[in-house]
Chain A
Amino acid sequence: MRRTPTLVGAALLATALVATACGGDASDGKTRITIGLFGNFGYQQLFEEYEKAHPDIDITDRTASYSDHHKNLAAHLATNNGAADIEAVDVGYINQFKANPGQFVELSADLKDRWLDWKWEASLSKDGKQIGYGTDIGGLAICYRRDLFEAAGLPADRDQVSAMWPTWEKFMETGKRFAANAPAGAKFFDGGPTVLNAIVGQAPTGYYDKSDKIVVGDNAEIRKGWDLVAQGVADGLSAGLLHSTPQWNTGFKQGQFATLACPAWMMAKIKDQAPETSGKWDLAAVPGGGGNWGGSYLTVPKQGKNTDKAVALAAWLTAPEQQAKVFANAGLLPSAPKLYSEQSVAQKADPFFNNAPVGKVFTDAARALKPQYQGPKAGDIQTEFGNAMQRVEQGKQSPGESWDQFVRDVTR
């Protein structure tokens, strides 16, 4: 593609122009605050609410895909130009960004008590500067398709389903029962990498130890999960789809898989991808106890022109009251623990998931969650781990070879 530099140049120029146009004061005397997001944060109504309460503020949001968003942010920080006034950062990237806290406005610790301790600490730089206010956490559950379970002769009631898989071993056994009578074209889970991410998210130690040393090669718990998932793949339980790809999106519409490891934000994804499957889904407990996958922060890059107002907006958006609203309309699990016992949150049911008590399932999951330390390049390692499992699914390597290559790659 020989026009790349021109295209990229034009795109950067256009972005820069847009950013300059948005950065300053709008012609109507309002201060324009831009906010860069990825995926679905459930903020649309909140923006309107904030603008109504603050007539001098005009909020413009721009949303990109997960990886584009973070790479654009990196480019904008590197060139000191073009970043939005508020930029969302996923937990998979927060460590890389907090390594350069000078790029961000240091946020006051006055609001610290809003969040779970580990959520607050995960975005603190080494020298104790806070670069981001927490939005949501992932938590973990299993989303499953009632209709496919029934067609395969498995119980579809959520309590019975949860009881079938107290552990991941039992989860895979259930998978084999499913596969024995599965409807044509339907596999038990979407892809090995998704299941692995859930298992990694539950382990007390993940890819790193607390001194930032990569220890995944000797992490028995993760190796056990790897072998288990690889066996599931060998048993034909996987649809072989990599999460967050177009093929995976198609998989929702075509009913290619019956279960999906579900952090709370995943539910919003399912609704976006396959609205026509409403009511067919349900929610069960995750095997193996609480865990976390994902969750985000709002940061305020220093290069913005209205950092004070941006900080105020970021603080408002992440306040418990707003987190409760986001949970109500988009299902993102709050990172403010005081909400877990609040009726409006704890008793929420979701008709898309057959009126599953999402409030109870996820607040239980959040309480049971043992926080795991994320090292500097946890996001990259997660990508490599997904690639490694894909090599097994694609039949390119044996599970043993692929694991060895993975450990070699990440410790190189």
Chain B
Amino acid sequence: MKTDWRERRHRWDLRYAPYAYVAPYFLLFGVFGLFPLLYTAWVSLQDRNLLDGDAATFVGIDNYVALLTADPYFWNAMGNTLSLWLLTTVPQILFALGIAQLLNRRLRGRTFFRMGVLLPNITSVAAVAIIFAQLFGRDFGLINWALELFGAGRIDWQAGTASSHTAIAAMVVWRWTGYHALIFLASMQAIPTSVYEAARLDGATAWQQFWRITVPMLRPQIIFSTVIATAGNMRLLAEPLLFNPGAGAETGGSDRQFQTAALYLYEYGFKKFDFGYASAIAWLLVIATVAITGLSYLAARRIRTD
């Protein structure tokens, strides 16, 4: 009788213990991930003031209809989001590949440089945004000073669409390139040297080796980095918000020229207290992010290993 009980417990242990081990993650995900997601979906179907949840009324898909058909500033924000996504993600991956390739050589102080590329990433985003906003300042910014030194005119970085996107993209690229470079570097070191030796014997140049061997062999990591970067860059908030701090920061410039979708959500939720509308923006942003991430996954997968 007693042994039977023991045996049974042992069997249960084998069968159910793994679920218990992964349960904490799913529990946390449920509380901080799934529940907010579903609750946001529910709120997005309401006309609801942030401060007065009790007076909320169910309006069905009205918020979505208004956003998609009657709100030019939503589309403006989506356009800015896409533009910033391109301007941040593509350079990030390309620069990271280049830096990883450089770091993969026998350098003096290799560890120092390898750790160094990660420094921008562990810097607080608020500090980065404030310093970059100063660098790109109109009257006393370092970049305008340098431009003037070389005879080019000053640029009012915040005023223009292209100029403000460039400045914000610079912040993001600066912060995240090192992170991706380290991921690429780790995988580069796993590529067997015999492959390169064989290529050298066949007369392949360093450039050919990089594009024909290194990049294809890094395919899984490039896909990973692209997906991670896309998911992050589609919801840029702090950089555009802090690029122009002040009472009107959430409008993203005088003509909303760098207002991202996340910033638009923030404006509606926390400036106008229109919680229902803001939640609908959040869900549309989720859908757009999934779509764009899927696209970039397909694009990155096209890297051939021929």
Question: In the complex, are the beta carbons of A1 and B245 less than 8 A apart?
Answer: no
A75 touches B138 (CB 8 A): no
The reply to whether B270 and A74 form a contact with Cβ atoms under 8 Å apart is yes
Tell me whether B247 and A78 are in contact (CB under 8 A). Answer: no
**Given A96-B273, A380-B271, A391-B255: A1 touches B32 (CB 8 Å cut-off):** no
**B247 near A74 (CB under 8 angstroms)?**
no
Partner of B247, one of A3, A246, A386: A386
Query: In the complex, are the beta carbons of A7 and B125 less than 8 A apart?
Result: yes
Instruction: Take A4-B238, A7-B125 as given contacts and tell me if A386 and B248 are in contact as well, using a CB distance cutoff of 8 Å.
Output: yes
Q: Across the interface, do A1 and B172 meet the contact criterion of CB distance under 8 Å?
A: yes
**Which chain A residues border B270 with CB–CB below 8 Å?**
71, 74-75
Q: Are B246 and A2 in contact (CB under 8 A)?
A: no
Asked if A394 lies at the interface with its beta carbon under 8 angstroms from chain B, I say yes
Check A387/B228 contact, CB under 8 A, given A1-B236, A4-B235, A75-B270. no
Question: With the chains together, A178 CA to B156 CA distance in Å?
Answer: 25
For the complex, give the distance between the alpha carbons of A4 and B175 in Å. Answer: 14
Return B53 CB to nearest CB of chain A, in Å: 8
Q: Is the CB of A244 within 8 A of B272?
A: no
Q: How many residues of B contact A (CB 8 A)?
A: 47
**B149–chain A nearest beta-carbon distance, Å:** 18
Q: Provide the residues of chain A in CB contact with B176, threshold 8 Å.
A: 2
Task: Identify the interface centre among A67, A380, A391: most chain B CB within 10 Å of its CB.
Answer: A67
A63-78 contacts to B (CB < 8 Å): 65-67, 71, 74-75, 77-78
Q: Any chain B CB within 8 A of the CB of A100?
A: yes
Whose C-beta in chain A lies nearest to the C-beta of B129? A1
B residues less than 8 Å from A256 (CB atoms): 139
Q: Which residues of A contact B217 (CB under 8 A)?
A: none
Task: Tell me if B254 and A394 are in contact (CB < 8 A).
Answer: yes
Contacts of A67 in B (CB 8 A): 246-247, 249-250
Interface residue from A2, A71, A103, A384 paired with B233 (Cβ < 8 Å) = A2
Proximity string of chain B (141-163) to chain A, C-beta cutoff 8 Å, 1 when within and 0 when not: 00000000000000010110000
Q: Is A154 in the interface zone, CB < 8 Å from B?
A: no
Contact of A396 among B233, B255, B272 (CB under 8 A): B255
A1 with B139: CB separation less than 8 A: no
Knowing A9-B32, A66-B247, A247-B137, say if A97 contacts B237 (CB, 8 Å).
no
Tell me the bound Cα distance from A258 to B251 in angstroms. Answer: 29
Chain B neighbourhood of A100, CB < 8 A:
49, 51-52
A240: chain B residues at CB < 8 Å are: 138
Any A CB within 8 A of the CB of B244:
yes
Q: Is the CB of A71 within 8 A of B237?
A: no
A231-243 interface bits toward B, Cβ cutoff 8 Å, 1 = contact, 0 = none: 0000000001011
How far in angstroms is the closest Cβ of chain B from A83?
A: 11
- The 6 residue pairs across chains A and B that have the minimum distance between CB atoms: A2-B232, A390-B254, A394-B159, A245-B246, A100-B51, A383-B248
New A-B contacts (14) at CB < 8 Å, excluding given A1-B172, A394-B254? A1-B236, A2-B231, A2-B233, A3-B125, A4-B237, A65-B245, A71-B270, A75-B50, A78-B51, A100-B49, A243-B246, A246-B245, A247-B139, A382-B247
